[in-house]
């Protein structure tokens, strides 16, 4: 297909961005796994490091002062590498109980991807899931009409988010460059930092994402004022992390890509 835009590719996150509205699968799995060792996680704590590789997510969670102190109270020792490995191994087992049930594409994503492809834009993806987890999600999502050109997982690179290596490998696999002609879209601070560190345009999506952490039903039950306060808090967090743009929902991404494309055509450098 003849290239119609200056933007060469868009790289999406998976849970909370393309599927699993509210990013529920990893949260429920983490809460269950920590609960099995008598450590209660709140929803907020479970989401604190969302977007990172799951092993690093668990490590960071154990290092939180309130979690470390609870661990010492219950297990009479400081959590160490063996505990990280044990919790992660259990997480790898538990998460598969949730992945297929939470692989439904978020509203608007399939039509957005179709629109981008019609313009000759390649569709890549990165995730905090391992390859086996991501393959499960991809297979389930494909049966519901969601297809990407490339997916890279943390176990394929030296380090996951917020490092740029997954985005870099996606660009290489898709044969697209330079980095500032690529747009990264995700729903966590780790996603924003991943895109920035890769030298790409970084876009944060609020509704459906882990930072907001609400299902469609929960959003609909909020008053306009309550929803504004919650979404504005996420917006400011993304902007503080360096996001070039922040959108309320994924169906606004097409308009943002058009704005970025226009800026590129005018030889602007972007907000880096």
Q: 15: annotated binding-site residue?
A: yes
Which is catalytic among the residues 2, 4, 54, 251?
54
Catalytic residue among 13, 20, 244, 261: 13
Tell me: is residue 187 an annotated ligand-binding position.
yes
- Give the strand order in the sheet containing 122-126: 150-152, 122-126, 9-12, 182-186, 201-205, 245-247
- Would you state the structure tokens that stand for residue 50, as one six-digit string? 């969302």
**Known catalytic residue at 13:** yes
DSSP the chain: ----SS--EEEE-SBTTTBSTT--HHHHHHHHHHHHTT-PPPHHHHHTTBTB-HHHHHHHHHHSHHHHHHHHHHHSS---HHHHHHHHHHHHHHGGGTTGGG-PBPTTHHHHHHHHHHTT-EEEEE-SS-HHHHHHHHHHHHTTT---SEEE-GGGSS--TTSSHHHHHHHHHHT---GGGEEEEESSHHHHHHHHHTTSEEEEE-TTSTTT---HHHHHHS-HHHHHHHHHHHHHHHHHTT-SEEESSGGGHHHHHHHHHHHHHTT-----
Q: Is 134 annotated as a binding residue?
A: no
217 is known as an active-site residue: no
Q: Which of these, 11, 18, 8, 9, lies nearest to 167 by C-alpha position? A: 11
* Binding site, annotated residues: 13, 15, 187
* Binding site, annotated residues for Mg(2+): 13, 15, 187
Q: Which residues are catalytic?
A: 13, 54
């Amino acid at each position: 297909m003849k290239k119609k835009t200056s933007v060469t590719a868009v790289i999406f996150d998976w849970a909370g961005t393309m599927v699993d509205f509210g990013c529920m699968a990893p949260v429920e799995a983490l809460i269950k796994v920590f609960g099995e060792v008598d450590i209660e996680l709140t929803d907020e704590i479970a989401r604190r490091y969302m977007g990172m590789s799951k092993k690093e997510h668990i490590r960071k969670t154990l290092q939180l002062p309130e979690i470390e102190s609870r661990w010492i109270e219950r297990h009479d020792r400081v959590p160490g590498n063996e505990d990280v490995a044990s919790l992660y191994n259990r997480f790898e087992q538990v998460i598969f109980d949730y992945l297929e049930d939470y692989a439904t594409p978020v509203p608007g994503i399939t039509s957005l991807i179709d629109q981008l492809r019609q313009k000759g834009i390649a569709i890549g993806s990165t995730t905090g899931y391992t390859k086996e987890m991501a393959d499960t999600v991809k297979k389930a999502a494909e049966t519901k009409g969601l297809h990407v050109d490339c997916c890279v997982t943390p176990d394929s690179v030296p380090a996951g988010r917020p490092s740029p290596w997954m985005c870099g490998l996606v660009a290489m696999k898709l044969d697209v460059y330079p980095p500032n002609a690529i747009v990264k879209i995700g729903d966590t601070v780790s996603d924003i930092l991943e895109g920035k560190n890769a030298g790409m345009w970084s876009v944060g999506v609020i509704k459906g994402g882990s930072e907001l952490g609400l299902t469609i039903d929960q959003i609909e039950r909020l008053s306009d004022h309550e929803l504004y306060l919650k979404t504005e808090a996420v917006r400011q967090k993304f902007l503080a992390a360096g996001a070039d743009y922040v959108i309320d929902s994924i169906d606004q991404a097409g308009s943002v890509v058009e704005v970025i494309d226009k800026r590129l055509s005018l030889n602007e450098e972007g907000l880096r």
